[in-house]
Amino acid sequence: MIRRGRTEGWLREPIQGLHTWASFHGVKFDGIKVGPLPGFEDRGSTVIAARELIGEKAEPLMTIPKELILSKQNIELMAKSDQHLHELLHALDDFGRTTRGAVLTFLLFQATICCPGVKDVGVHTPLTEYIKYLPDELLPTFWSEEELELLDGTTLRSAVRAKMNSLLREFEAFRAATENIHWCAKLWWDEDDGMLTFDDWLRVDAMYRSRALEFPGVGDAMVPCIDMANHASGDATAALYETDDDGNAILILRHGKDILEGGEITITYGDDKGACENIFSYGFLEDSMASARIMFLNLDIPDDDPLRPAKIYVCNTAPGFRLVDKNDSIEWESDFVWLVVVNEEDGLDFKVRQTVDGGREIQAFWKESELNDTSKIRTFLEQDPLWEVFQLRAVVLMQGRVDAQLATLETLGSPTQEGLIRERPWRLATQLRKLERKMLESTRTILDKQRSALLDTETIQRYLGLIDDEDKDEEQVEEDFT
């Protein structure tokens, strides 16, 4: 439906019309305009200084009335005067009460009522027109199979695969929840001419993912016009977004920032985001990005682990570990790793317990202490005399995973751009492979050092039988003697 709307023109407006839309709906622009920046047209539209702007001046560059903020609260408010929207949110139950569920549903509904053939459904709002100004982002969920293969060996490959599965599940649940609503059955799900397909779900997901920002006092929301600002990190960020005392959204120039006429007013989408997340959510990487910053490597519990099924049952943490570049070092974070590296002989145990309603549940224990939250396992292990042994196992486990990831990257080498592969996916995949490979190589060196240091500890020497207690006693005697 959305693709058809874009081609036929009923779901597309040129960005030049945004100024009129904005002033008609009470949005105030002060010294700025929105459009493509000459020389950077591939970044879509952005916010541009219409005159020289001085950072010291406290007046907002944009003020967006609070009613125009596309938030969960406002969608619920609009549903009070729109019976069809209300029906939809009600049918979606819990999903309709999440911000993501409400926004995606709202966007899909707005696109539907823009369609010239759709009559007597929905109430048009300023936002019905606004979505016509939003471009379709080429996020990896729109990359072809050939383009996705370029991601093999990067952490983005599994992230996209998992996202596609979860989008498919969401879309099926959305269909199941709405197919009994008369007008949905007719407009969306009719076997012959139903308007909705999975592609529409991908498109509203991409709109939300690439444009939602977290606003103080509002939470995640899409804010018209502020969501036209492109990203720049660090000192290059020109402006900040927030809400004013009346709840309106505002864009203000950062203190000390002076922008010449024609200069770009950027915001930050989050300076700490890793390369993988930037491509995943926004479909670009900043040229200045010198590190992949954050990587999540998934892990599996080995098949020969006798406690594998129970561990999977109780596990409430992400199955893998995160690598974080802290400038002078790479640190790893994981709760899952600790669950993988300990076993029954170390003190991990599982018991089946009867619940009050007659059901059964598995409970984990560490040496008689109940482990009701597996993310807390590290706290127990740290106090154990074998703490260094567990650390060594964790380091070895992660080394294996890092080596495997590097091997995949190396096997694939540097793919060339051929066939129908588009320029942007090819460029992004190449950049990501380079950044992740560099970070993995540094991680390998760091883990190697950690392993050597752990192997030198007395606990491990003794654990490996390299020190026996008789020698130790003799040493102590000698020491006492001297």
- By rule CB under 6 A, what string of x and - marks binding of each residue 353-372 to ligand SAM? --------------------
Any bridge partners for residue 36, and if so which?
45
Residue pair 438/292 in contact (Cβ under 8 Å)? The answer is: yes
Nearer to ligand SAM, 122 or 425 (CB): 425
Which residue number, 271 or 370, has a Cβ lying nearer to ligand SAM?
A: 271
Minimum CB distance to ligand SAM, residue 377 (Å): 38
The residue within the footprint of ligand SAM, chosen from 79, 127, 132, 137 (CB under 6 A), is 137
The length of the chain is 482
Choose, by CB under 6 A, the member of 5, 283, 320, 425 that binds ligand SAM: 283
Closer residue to ligand SAM (CB): 71 or 405: 71
Residue among 130, 284, 332, 336 that touches ligand SAM (CB under 6 A): 284
CB-closest chain residue to ligand SAM? 44
Residues in 225-244 at the binding interface with ligand SAM, rule: CB under 6 A: 227-228, 230-232
DSSP character for 241? Answer: E
Report whether 350 contacts 427 (CB < 8 A).
no
Question: Which tokens hold the place of 280?
Answer: 């995943």
Using only the alpha carbons of the chain, give its radius of gyration: 27
Q: b/e per residue, 253-286, with b = 16+ CB within 10 A?
A: bbeebebeeeebbbbbbeeebbbbbbbbbbbbbe
Residue 211 within binding range of ligand SAM, rule CB under 6 A: yes
In the complex, minimum distance from the CB of residue 254 to ligand SAM, in angstroms, rounded to a whole number:
16
Tell me which residue of 241, 251, 216, 262 sits closest to 59, measured CA to CA. 251
Three-state secondary structure call for residue 28: strand
User: Does 286 engage in binding with ligand SAM (CB under 6 A)?
Assistant: yes
> Which DSSP category does 231 fall into?
B
User: Which residues inside 39-58 make contact with ligand SAM, applying CB under 6 A?
Assistant: 43-46
Instruction: Identify which of residues 202 and 228 has a Cβ nearer to ligand SAM in the complex.
Output: 228
CB of 130 to ligand SAM, least distance (A): 11
Distance CA 11, CA 4 (A): 8
- 282 lies in the site for ligand SAM, by CB under 6 A: yes
**210 contacts ligand SAM (rule: CB under 6 A):** yes
Stretch that binds ligand SAM, among 60-68, 223-231, 309-317, 392-400 (CB under 6 A): 223-231
* DSSP state at residue 313: H
What span, in angstroms and rounded, lies between the C-alpha atoms of 173 and 179?
10
User: Which residues make up the interface to ligand SAM (CB under 6 A)?
Assistant: 43-46, 135, 137, 210-211, 227-228, 230-232, 282-284, 286
